[in-house]
Structures are given as structure tokens and as C-alpha cells.
Amino acid sequence: MPPTLVDSHCHLDFPDFAEEIDDVVARACAAGVTRMVSIATSMAGEPRVRAIAETHAPVFYAAGLHPLHVHEESPPTVEKLVEIARHPKMVGIGETGLDYHYSVETRAVQQESLRLHCEAARRTGLPLIIHSRDADADMTRILTEEHAAGAFSCVMHCFSSSAELGRAMLDLGFYLSMSGIATFRKSTDLREIFASAPLDRILVETDSPYLAPQPKRGKRNEPAYTAMTAVTGAEVFGISVEDFAAATTANFDRLFAKAAAWTAEDAA
């Protein structure tokens, strides 16, 4: 039997998986990925992601407004995020964050949206799920300010930023999530950042359908491929795949405590 893993971030509602969700979930479970968190990147998409989680026992979900979508819909109110967080399988706030690579012109709205999500994470006790690209200084400043105003938990999803941002986030008690990017041949610096982090602050994810790990790079990613990234993770930390899987699963259960506590009876 393969070691048990959790895909802490995927997008099962995307068209790439249309008409194939049953098979995708089955392949994940066969690969040892017995739980996965499907992320809604907008409030408009929240019902689709919720429906997938309600239909498939191994799937949980999170919801928020991705920074690249702030030009398409207004940021959700804190009250709206708190309301949907009452669902038994809604286990995280986001993804939210800052992305100045493509959308620097929406910087102010992105920052407003990020702060609203921080407040929702505080009120619900659910972890914040952060997307960060080309925005290290503002990300550090805003999350440090918000955390000082009232603590919340957080994961830097698909972490591929600077060592400085990684250290700042770890200093706040946050988690770093390893994606397929860490398996790429030229990702030496990124692997070094992970190697310098405490193992008890590491999660693993696919961000599928994007960023398939080696040897699937360039193809559609899916939750089953978490197992391939875990091989690289084990190498980075100099431990067995079994130990890496056990550690990252324990980390997930600590951060996503609502998912860890969920039972089928909760859905009744």
C-alpha cells in the first residue's frame, strides 16, 4: 500500500476535470492520496466546489477570491465568508493573496480583499490560504500587520517565492506548501528554502490541473500526482517517503483541524 498523503490544494471544479471527477478521485485514493482540498477561486465558483465536496467523501473545500479575479467580481464580505464557512466540509479561507505579475493595476483592491480574508480567518478559526507572486514586500507587511491585530493560521500555497518571504511567514507560525515546482530540475534554490524550513511546517499539494511534477511535467496535473512531489520532498529532507508522508499528513491535520475532525456523520 502506498503511504497516505493529502493534496492540500487542487481545483477539481476546473473544466480540465469535467465528466471525470469520479475517476480522478479514485486514482488519487489508489495512489495513497486519501484526502484533497478543492479550492474555489471566486464566490461564483463556490457552489460548484461545494457540490464536489458533498458528493465525494475524500474531498473537502475552501473558498475565497483569487487576486487575479478581483477585476471580475467584488471581494466577498467577511460576513459572507463566515456564512459559507459553516458548511461541515468547508475547511479553509481562500485562496486569496497578492499577484502583481499579471495584475499590478488592481493592487489596491487585491490588498483590500486580502485583509477581508484575514478577518474571516480570524473569525472562523479556519486557515488562510495564500497565493503570492511578485509581491513579497506587501505580502510580508500586510500579513504581519494583520496577524498582529489578531492571530490566525495560514498556509503559503504553492510556495515558490523568496527565502526572505518564506522565513517571514515561518516566523509568524505559518506553513509552506510544496508543489510540483519543487521537482523541476532548475528549482534548486526553492528546494534549499524548503530544506531550511522545519519539517513540521510543510504541506504538499498539486495545484492541479496546473504544475504537474516530474516526470509528468507539461501534462495535466491531478491529485494522484501528489505522490510524485512527495518523493522529492522526502529527498529534500533526507527521510523516507513514508516518513515525509506521515509528517505532512500530521501537519495538514494540525492546520486543517476541521477536516481532520470530519466524519461522514457530519454530512447527515
For the annotated binding site for a divalent metal cation, the residues are: 9, 11, 95, 131, 157, 207
Which residues sit in the known binding site?
9, 11, 95, 131, 157, 207
Please count the CA atoms within 13 angstroms of the CA of 1 that sit on its side-chain side: 8
| 119 vs 121: CA distance, rounded Å | 5
Cell digits of residue 223: 491529485
CA angle 244, 131, 150 (to 5 degrees): 90
DSSP state of 29: H
Asked whether 29 and 23 are in contact (CB, 8 A), the reply is: no
**Contacting residues for 101 by C-beta, under 8 A, at least 6 apart:** 133, 134
